[in-house]
C-alpha cells in the first residue's frame, strides 16, 4: 500500500461515512441505536434494535506507512484484515487481541489485551487520532488529551462509534520463538513477570510477548515470545495439534508471526473442547475453515438463546450451572491472593494470565488503572454447577467483590452486576456523564451502565 491514503480509498471511506450518517438520521428519536452487525464478541445480552447503523463498508485498511510505522484503519476493520495488511511490511499493531474477528474500533471502545500489553498497554494507547460519530450525529476528530478521546476507551458505544483510526505499528519478524517456563508457585511466576517487566528480558534473551496459563494449582506456565527468531521447523496448530496442549508439554516452540498472533483463535483458547472439538474424530470432521472463534461464538449464542444445556441438565438431574465468563485485572502483587481465593470459591481451571501495564503516564477515566503498576489479566470462561439460585449469578457477584477488594477491575464484555453507585465509582461515571452530556445530549445512545449491567 502507499504511504498516504489513496484517493480511491478516501472516496470509498467518505461514501461509507455518509451511509453511516444517513442510517443514523433514519432511526426515529427514542428508538434504540446500535451497530447493524451480525456478529459480536460480547458475552452479555443485547437489546435488539429496530434499526441499526450501516457499517458494512467501514471494514478496511485505508493505508499502511511502513516508514512512519502508521496505519489508517476504518473502525469496523477486523484485526485479521489489519494484520494481513501490516505483516507484509514486517509490522503489526502494537497490541493484537487474541480473537481475529475483534474489530479495531471494538478493541478501542471495549478494551483489548494480549501478550505485548506488558510493553504497549492497551489498544487505545497506540491510537494517535480517530474520527467518532457521536450521539449528537456529529463526526468529531479527536486526539489524546481531548475529553472525548480520553473517555472513549471502555465506553462500549455509549459515546459514539469510531469510523477511522490512525494507529502506531511495531516491527515483528517472520518467525516467533517461544519459551514455556514452568512454575509450581504463583509467587515465583509473579517474580518472573516482575523481572521481565523491569529488564525486558529473561535469562539474557529479549522478551517481546508474555502471557501464561494456570493449568492447576502448582502447575503454571509463563510463555515468553521473541519476535525476530531465526527460521526453522515451525509448528502448526490449525490442524490436529492443539496449541494449549503444547504450552503444557513443550519447553520451546517456533511459529510463524501470523500463527503466533492467532495461536489462541483456532480453538478459542480451550473453550472449543466444550463443543467436542478436541476429540480426534470430531476434529478431523470439523472443516478447518470453520475452526475459529467466530463460528464457536455463533454456536454458543445459538445454544444460549434456546437453553439447550440447561434442559439437558434438568432432564439428567444435574445442578443448575452458572456461566462464569470474565476477564479481570488484578495487581501483580495480588495475583496469588486472587488465584487462591478463586480456586477455593470457583474452582475453574485452566485460566489465562496476561501481564499488562499502561504504556505511559496518561490515565483513562472509564478504566482507571494506575501508571507504573503491573497488573495481570486473569481470564476464565466456562460454567460452574451451583444449583438453585444460579440465575442470581452468585459466583460472578463474588468475583466482582473480590476483584474490587484487591484493587483490580473487570472487563465489561460479559455480564456485570454492580449497583449503580459502585459502577460509577469504578468506571469513571462522573467523567463519562460529562462527556456524554456534551456529545449525546439527547441520550440517543444507551448509557454504559445500561449496556453493561444485568439488573434483576
* 154 occurs within a structural domain: yes
Give every CB contact of residue 73 below 8 A, 6+ residues apart in sequence. Answer: 60, 61, 62, 82, 104, 164, 165, 166, 167
Closest to 121 measured CA to CA, from 414, 408, 404, 371: 371
* 418 occurs within a structural domain: no
Arithmetic mean of pLDDT, 17-42: 77
In terms of domains, do 101 and 198 share one? no
Q: Are 359 and 120 in contact (CB under 8 A)?
A: yes
* 407 occurs within a structural domain: no
Closest to 92 measured CA to CA, from 166, 168, 163, 176: 168
Asked if omega into 49 is within 30° of 0 (cis), the reply is: no
> What are 151-202's pLDDT values in tens digits?
999 999 999 999 999 999 999 999 999 999 999 999 999 999 999 999 999 9
In terms of domains, do 124 and 165 share one? yes
* 189 occurs within a structural domain: yes
Output the average pLDDT for the chain. 89
> What are 227-273's pLDDT values in tens digits?
999 999 999 999 889 999 999 999 999 999 999 999 999 988 888 88
In terms of domains, do 119 and 183 share one? no
Domain, as residue range, for 206: 175-264
| pLDDT more than 70, % of the chain | 90
> What are 51-65's pLDDT values in tens digits?
578 888 999 999 999
Answer yes or no: is pLDDT of 36 > 70: no
Q: How far apart are CA 371 and CA 241, in angstroms?
A: 39
The predicted pLDDT at position 298 comes to: 75
Q: What is the pTM of this model?
A: 0.91
| Domain final position from 139, 171, 203 | 171
In terms of domains, do 62 and 196 share one? no
DSSP, residue by residue, 405-434: HTT-EE-SSB-B---HHHHHHHTTHHHHHH
* 157 occurs within a structural domain: yes
Confidence at 220, pLDDT banded by 50, 70, 90: very high
Q: How far apart are CA 223 and CA 154, in angstroms?
A: 27
Backbone angles phi, psi at 113, to 5 degrees: -155, 150
Which residue is it, cell 464457536? 296
Answer yes or no: is pLDDT of 278 > 50: yes
Q: What is the dihedral of CA 245, 251, 255, 259, to 10 degrees?
A: 30
> What are 388-433's pLDDT values in tens digits?
888 889 999 999 999 999 999 999 988 899 999 999 999 999 999 9
Neighbours of 147 (CB within 10 A): 14
In terms of domains, do 153 and 180 share one? no
How many helices (H) and strands (E) in the chain?
Answer: 16, 18
Angle at 47 between CA 14 and CA 418, to 5 degrees: 110
**Cell representation of residue 159:** 459515546
Q: How far apart are CA 73 and CA 16, in angstroms?
A: 13
Answer yes or no: is pLDDT of 454 > 80: no
* 254 occurs within a structural domain: yes
Q: Are 130 and 77 in contact (CB under 8 A)?
A: no
In terms of domains, do 20 and 128 share one? yes
| Domain final position from 171, 197, 226 | 171
DSSP, residue by residue, 221-275: EEEEEETTPPP-PPP--SSS--HHHHHHH-SEEEEEHHHHHTTTTTTTTTGGGGG
> What are 128-141's pLDDT values in tens digits?
999 999 998 899 99
Answer yes or no: is pLDDT of 446 > 70: yes
In terms of domains, do 237 and 151 share one? no
Which DSSP state fits 110? H
Beta strands 409-410 and 351-356 are: unpaired
* 346 occurs within a structural domain: no
In terms of domains, do 110 and 54 share one? yes
In terms of domains, do 35 and 158 share one? yes
What total number of domains does the chain contain? Answer: 2
CATH of the domain at 96: 3.30.465.10
* 436 occurs within a structural domain: no
The predicted pLDDT at position 1 comes to: 37
In terms of domains, do 163 and 56 share one? yes
Query: 166 - beta bridge partners?
Result: 72, 129
In terms of domains, do 16 and 151 share one? yes
In terms of domains, do 106 and 254 share one? no
| Domain final position from 264, 281, 307 | 264
Q: How far apart are CA 106 and CA 104, in angstroms?
A: 5
Amino acid at each position: 500500500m502507499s504511504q498516504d491514503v489513496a484517493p480511491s480509498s478516501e472516496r470509498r471511506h467518505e461514501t461509507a461515512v455518509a451511509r453511516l450518517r444517513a442510517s443514523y438520521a433514519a432511526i426515529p428519536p427514542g428508538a434504540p441505536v446500535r451497530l447493524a452487525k451480525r456478529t459480536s464478541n460480547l458475552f452479555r445480552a443485547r437489546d435488539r434494535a429496530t434499526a441499526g447503523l450501516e457499517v458494512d463498508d467501514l471494514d478496511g485498511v485505508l493505508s499502511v506507512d511502513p516508514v512512519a510505522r502508521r496505519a489508517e484503519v476504518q473502525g469496523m476493520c477486523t484485526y485479521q484484515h489489519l494484520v494481513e495488511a501490516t505483516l507484509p511490511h514486517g509490522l503489526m499493531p502494537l497490541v493484537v487481541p487474541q480473537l481475529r474477528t475483534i474489530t479495531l474500533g471494538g478493541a478501542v471502545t471495549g478494551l483489548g489485551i494480549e501478550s505485548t500489553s506488558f510493553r504497549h498497554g492497551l489498544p487505545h494507547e497506540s491510537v494517535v487520532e480517530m474520527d467518532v460519530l457521536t450521539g449528537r450525529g456529529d463526526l468529531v476528530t479527536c486526539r489524546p488529551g481531548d475529553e472525548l478521546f480520553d473517555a472513549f476507551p471502555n465506553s462500549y458505544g455509549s459515546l459514539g462509534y469510531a469510523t477511522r483510526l490512525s494507529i502506531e505499528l511495531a516491527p515483528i519478524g517472520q518467525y516467533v520463538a517461544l519459551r514455556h517456563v514452568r512454575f509450581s508457585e504463583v509467587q515465583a511466576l509473579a517474580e518472573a513477570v516482575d523481572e521481565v517487566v523491569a529488564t525486558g528480558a529473561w535469562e539474557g534473551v529479549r522478551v517481546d510477548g508474555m502471557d501464561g496459563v494456570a493449568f492447576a494449582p502448582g502447575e503454571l506456565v509463563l510463555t515468553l515470545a521473541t519476535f525476530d527468531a531465526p527460521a526453522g521447523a515451525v509448528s502448526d496448530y490449525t490442524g490436529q495439534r492443539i496449541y494449549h496442549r503444547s504450552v503444557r508439554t513443550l519447553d520451546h516452540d517456533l511459529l510463524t508471526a501470523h500463527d503466533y498472533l492467532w495461536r489462541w483463535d483456532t480453538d478459542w483458547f480451550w473453550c472449543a473442547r466444550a463443543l467436542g472439538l478436541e476429540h480426534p474424530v470430531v476434529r478431523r470432521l470439523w472443516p478447518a475453515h470453520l475452526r475459529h472463534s467466530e463460528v464457536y461464538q455463533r454456536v454458543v449464542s445459538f445454544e444460549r438463546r434456546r437453553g439447550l444445556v440447561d434442559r439437558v441438565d434438568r432432564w439428567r438431574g444435574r445442578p443448575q450451572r452458572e456461566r462464569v465468563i470474565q476477564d479481570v485485572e488484578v495487581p501483580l502483587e495480588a495475583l496469588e491472593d486472587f488465584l487462591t481465593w478463586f480456586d477455593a470459591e470457583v474452582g475453574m481451571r485452566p485460566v489465562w494470565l496476561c501481564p499488562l501495564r499502561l504504556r505511559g503516564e496518561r490515565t483513562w477515566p472509564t478504566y482507571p488503572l494506575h501508571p507504573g503498576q503491573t497488573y495481570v489479566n486473569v481470564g476464565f470462561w466456562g460454567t460452574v454447577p451451583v444449583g438453585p439460585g444460579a440465575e442470581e449469578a452468585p459466583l460472578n457477584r463474588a468475583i466482582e467483590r473480590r476483584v474490587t477488594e484487591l484493587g483490580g477491575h473487570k472487563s465489561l464484555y460479559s455480564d456485570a452486576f454492580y449497583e449503580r453507585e459502585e459502577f460509577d465509582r469504578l468506571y469513571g461515571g462522573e467523567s463519562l456523564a460529562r462527556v456524554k452530556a456534551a456529545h449525546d445530549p439527547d441520550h440517543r445512545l444507551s448509557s454504559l451502565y445500561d449496556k453493561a449491567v444485568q439488573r434483576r
